[in-house]
Amino acid sequence: MSKTDFLGDAFTVIRNAGRAKKEEVLVPWSNLVLSVCKILAKEGYIENFKEIDLGRFKKIKVYLKYDRKKSAFATLKRVSKPGRRIYVQSRGVPLVLKGYGIAIISTSSGILTDKEARQKGVGGEVLGMVW
Protein backbone atom coordinates (compact mmCIF):
# COMPACT_ATOMS: atom_id res chain seq x y z
CA MET A 1 0.00 0.00 0.00
CA SER A 2 1.08 3.51 -0.74
CA LYS A 3 1.65 6.06 1.97
CA THR A 4 0.45 9.02 -0.11
CA ASP A 5 -3.17 8.20 -0.93
CA PHE A 6 -4.90 6.79 2.15
CA LEU A 7 -8.38 7.44 0.72
CA GLY A 8 -7.57 5.59 -2.51
CA ASP A 9 -6.23 2.66 -0.51
CA ALA A 10 -9.33 2.65 1.71
CA PHE A 11 -11.66 2.69 -1.32
CA THR A 12 -9.76 -0.22 -2.88
CA VAL A 13 -9.82 -2.30 0.31
CA ILE A 14 -13.56 -1.67 0.89
CA ARG A 15 -14.44 -2.36 -2.77
CA ASN A 16 -12.44 -5.63 -2.83
CA ALA A 17 -13.89 -6.76 0.51
CA GLY A 18 -17.41 -6.11 -0.77
CA ARG A 19 -16.76 -8.23 -3.84
CA ALA A 20 -15.30 -11.00 -1.68
CA LYS A 21 -18.35 -10.89 0.66
CA LYS A 22 -16.31 -10.05 3.77
CA GLU A 23 -18.14 -8.95 6.91
CA GLU A 24 -15.51 -6.46 8.07
CA VAL A 25 -12.24 -4.99 6.86
CA LEU A 26 -9.39 -2.85 8.23
CA VAL A 27 -8.48 0.33 6.34
CA PRO A 28 -5.68 2.84 6.98
CA TRP A 29 -6.56 5.63 9.43
CA SER A 30 -6.61 9.32 8.59
CA ASN A 31 -9.00 12.15 9.38
CA LEU A 32 -10.10 12.21 5.74
CA VAL A 33 -10.87 8.48 5.66
CA LEU A 34 -12.73 8.82 8.97
CA SER A 35 -14.91 11.63 7.55
CA VAL A 36 -15.65 9.62 4.40
CA CYS A 37 -16.61 6.58 6.53
CA LYS A 38 -19.06 8.78 8.45
CA ILE A 39 -20.70 9.79 5.16
CA LEU A 40 -20.80 6.20 3.87
CA ALA A 41 -22.45 5.02 7.11
CA LYS A 42 -24.91 7.93 7.13
CA GLU A 43 -25.91 7.27 3.50
CA GLY A 44 -26.31 3.51 4.14
CA TYR A 45 -23.44 2.14 2.04
CA ILE A 46 -21.68 0.54 5.03
CA GLU A 47 -23.15 -0.86 8.25
CA ASN A 48 -20.84 0.89 10.72
CA PHE A 49 -17.19 1.62 11.50
CA LYS A 50 -14.94 2.12 14.50
CA GLU A 51 -11.39 3.25 15.20
CA ILE A 52 -8.92 0.57 16.33
CA ASP A 53 -5.73 1.54 18.17
CA LEU A 54 -2.97 -0.96 17.40
CA GLY A 55 -0.29 0.61 19.57
CA ARG A 56 1.99 2.55 17.23
CA PHE A 57 -0.69 3.25 14.63
CA LYS A 58 -4.46 3.29 14.13
CA LYS A 59 -6.79 1.54 11.71
CA ILE A 60 -10.49 1.88 10.95
CA LYS A 61 -12.59 -1.29 11.08
CA VAL A 62 -15.39 -1.02 8.52
CA TYR A 63 -18.41 -3.30 8.82
CA LEU A 64 -19.84 -3.88 5.35
CA LYS A 65 -23.54 -3.90 4.55
CA TYR A 66 -25.27 -6.45 2.33
CA ASP A 67 -28.78 -6.65 0.92
CA ARG A 68 -29.74 -10.25 0.11
CA LYS A 69 -26.09 -11.33 -0.23
CA LYS A 70 -25.39 -8.37 -2.53
CA SER A 71 -23.17 -5.47 -1.48
CA ALA A 72 -24.94 -2.21 -0.62
CA PHE A 73 -22.77 -0.42 -3.21
CA ALA A 74 -21.95 -1.45 -6.76
CA THR A 75 -19.00 0.87 -7.28
CA LEU A 76 -16.74 2.90 -5.01
CA LYS A 77 -14.64 5.13 -7.26
CA ARG A 78 -11.81 7.57 -6.49
CA VAL A 79 -12.15 10.67 -8.69
CA SER A 80 -9.57 13.21 -7.55
CA LYS A 81 -6.13 11.64 -7.18
CA PRO A 82 -2.81 13.00 -5.89
CA GLY A 83 -1.55 13.29 -9.47
CA ARG A 84 -4.67 14.99 -10.80
CA ARG A 85 -7.04 16.95 -8.60
CA ILE A 86 -10.59 17.53 -9.78
CA TYR A 87 -12.30 20.69 -8.52
CA VAL A 88 -15.84 21.87 -9.18
CA GLN A 89 -17.68 25.10 -8.55
CA SER A 90 -20.99 25.17 -6.73
CA ARG A 91 -22.87 25.12 -10.06
CA GLY A 92 -20.81 22.17 -11.33
CA VAL A 93 -21.33 19.68 -8.49
CA PRO A 94 -21.83 16.29 -10.21
CA LEU A 95 -25.10 14.38 -10.03
CA VAL A 96 -24.25 10.67 -9.77
CA LEU A 97 -26.64 8.36 -11.67
CA LYS A 98 -29.36 11.03 -11.62
CA GLY A 99 -29.40 11.04 -7.82
CA TYR A 100 -29.15 7.30 -7.10
CA GLY A 101 -25.49 7.56 -6.10
CA ILE A 102 -23.49 10.13 -4.16
CA ALA A 103 -20.41 12.20 -4.83
CA ILE A 104 -18.15 12.92 -1.85
CA ILE A 105 -16.76 16.45 -1.97
CA SER A 106 -14.16 18.18 0.19
CA THR A 107 -15.37 21.75 0.67
CA SER A 108 -14.54 24.70 2.87
CA SER A 109 -17.49 23.56 5.01
CA GLY A 110 -16.01 20.08 5.49
CA ILE A 111 -16.51 16.75 3.73
CA LEU A 112 -20.02 16.78 2.21
CA THR A 113 -22.17 14.76 -0.16
CA ASP A 114 -23.19 16.28 -3.48
CA LYS A 115 -26.70 17.02 -2.16
CA GLU A 116 -25.39 18.84 0.91
CA ALA A 117 -22.91 20.83 -1.22
CA ARG A 118 -25.71 21.93 -3.55
CA GLN A 119 -27.88 22.97 -0.58
CA LYS A 120 -25.05 25.01 0.96
CA GLY A 121 -24.00 26.40 -2.42
CA VAL A 122 -20.34 25.38 -2.15
CA GLY A 123 -17.92 23.62 -4.47
CA GLY A 124 -14.62 21.91 -3.83
CA GLU A 125 -12.54 18.84 -4.61
CA VAL A 126 -14.48 15.77 -5.78
CA LEU A 127 -12.95 12.94 -3.71
CA GLY A 128 -15.01 10.02 -4.95
CA MET A 129 -18.33 8.62 -6.09
CA VAL A 130 -20.42 5.75 -4.75
CA TRP A 131 -23.39 3.98 -6.31
The answer as to whether 102 is a domain residue is: yes
Residue 45: give the domain boundaries: 6-71
Cα 124 to Cα 13, 21, 86, 97: the distances in Å are 25, 33, 8, 20
User: Both 49 and 96 in a single domain?
Assistant: no
Q: What is the CATH number of the domain that holds 49?
A: 3.30.1370.30
State pLDDT tens for residues 68-100.
889 999 999 999 999 999 999 999 999 999 989
Q: What is the CATH number of the domain that holds 112?
A: 3.30.1490.10
Per the structure, the count of domains in the chain is 2
d(CA 53, CA 3) in angstroms, rounded, equals: 18
Provide mean pLDDT across the span 4-9. 93
Give exposure, 64-102, as e/b (b: 16+ Cβ within 10 Å).
bbeeeeebbbeebebbbeeeeeeebeeeebeebeeeebb
Residue 1 is predicted with a pLDDT of 62
User: Both 64 and 17 in a single domain?
Assistant: yes
State pLDDT tens for residues 18-36.
999 999 999 999 999 999 9
